[in-house]
Amino acid sequence: MIYLDHAATTPLDGEVLELYIRELKEDYGNPSSTYRLGKKASRKLRQAREDIAGIFGLGDRNIYFTSGATESNNWALWSQSLAHRRAFGQDEIVTTSLEHSAVVKTLDYLKTLGFKVIEVAPRDGNIQVQDFLDATNEKTCGWICMAVNNETGSILPVTQLGQEAKDRNIYFHIDGVQAMALEEVDLKSTYYTSLTCSGHKVYGPKGMGFLATKNLKAPLMAYHRGGSQEFNLRAGTVDVPGAQALAKALEIAYTRRQEDQAHCQALKEACIQGLSQGGLDFAVNHLAQESPKILNLWIKGVPAQELLMKLDMEDIYVSAGSACSAGALGPSRVIESIYPQDPDRGLESIRLSFGRENTLEEIDQLVQALVKA
C-alpha cells in the first residue's frame, strides 16, 4: 500500500498510540469526579491543556478541547458572529473563496440568520490583504482566512491579515488545520481571535481537536449546555486520553517539524521531476507560497475520478482536488477559484499529500502509475 493522502488523515504516531492505549486502560476516571481517580484524570487533562497552550504561547484557559476542527470552526464562527451582532450591530463577514467546507457550511447557516458574507478570491497569485480591506466597512464583524489550503497547500497571508485586523473592532478566525508544525506559518506570534486544530491531521487521534482563543472582542458563547466542562462552555465528559494523545502528537510534530518538512519537500520535488521526465502533461495547482506537504496536480485531459480508480487498483491512495457529493466527483471549488480561465482544471486535478512514512521508492511507483495512466 502507498498512502499519499495525509491531508485527509494521518496514521497514529507510534509513541502517541502507546500513550493513548495506556491511558485508556489505566486512567479512565471522569475528570469531573471528586474522588482520587477523578482528580488524577483532572490533573492529566490540565497538563495536556497546558502543554498545548505552551506550544502556541497561550494560557491554558485559552484552549478548549473539541471533537475536531469542524466543531471548532462551527463554534468559533457562529459564537463570534452572533456576539458581535449583539454587542456592536455588525453583521457582515469577509472570507476567502478557498475555505474548507466546515467554514463554508457554517457561513451558509449564518446567512440564514441574516449575515452577509463577502468572498475574496485569489488575485495576482495570492489572496490579497487589500481586497479584505476594500470589502470591510463599519458593518463588518469578522474576517476568516485559513492558514494553509487543504487542497493545494497554498499558504495564505494570515500574519498580514492579523496585523490589519488587530486595530479593527472585528474578529479574525484562522482555520489552522494544515498549518500545524509548519515553519512558514508562525501561529505563536500571529494575531487572531480564534484558531482551530484537528488531531488526526498531525498523527494524533480522530475525534479530538481544539479551539484556541485570544484577543476576543466579545465573550465566547457556550457551544452546548449541560455540565461545567471546558470552563462552562462545552458540556460533556472530556476525553482525557484523547487530550493527552493530541498534546503528545503536537509536541512530536513541532519537535521534528524541520525533519518532516525536509522529507516531504524531497518527496514533492522527486515527484515533479519524475513526472516531467516521464513526459506527462501536467501543471501544479498552487498560489505564491505552498506547503511542502501537499502537491496538487492538474493531469491534463484525464478526469480525476478515472485517475483515482486506476491508482486505487494499484493500491495507491490519493484524493481528488474536488469534493465528493452523492458518490460522484464534482469540480473543485478551490481550483475553479484559483484558475477561472481553465474550466476543466477542477475536474482533472488530484491531490497528493506526503507523510513521515513515505519513501522515494513509493514516489517512483506513483510516477510510473501516473505516466502509464
Q: Rounded to the nearest 10 degrees, what angle do helices 304-313 and 360-372 cross at?
A: 120
CB distance 88 to 64 below 8 Å: no
Q: What's the rounded Cα separation, in Å, for the pair 4 and 123?
A: 29
Which of these, 310, 286, 297, lies nearest to 349 by C-alpha position? 297
CB distance 240 to 27 below 8 Å: yes
Give the sign of the dihedral formed by CA 328, CA 334, CA 336, CA 337. positive
271 counts as catalytic: no
HSE, CB side, 13 Å, CA atoms: give it for residue 156.
33
Catalytic (active-site) positions: 324
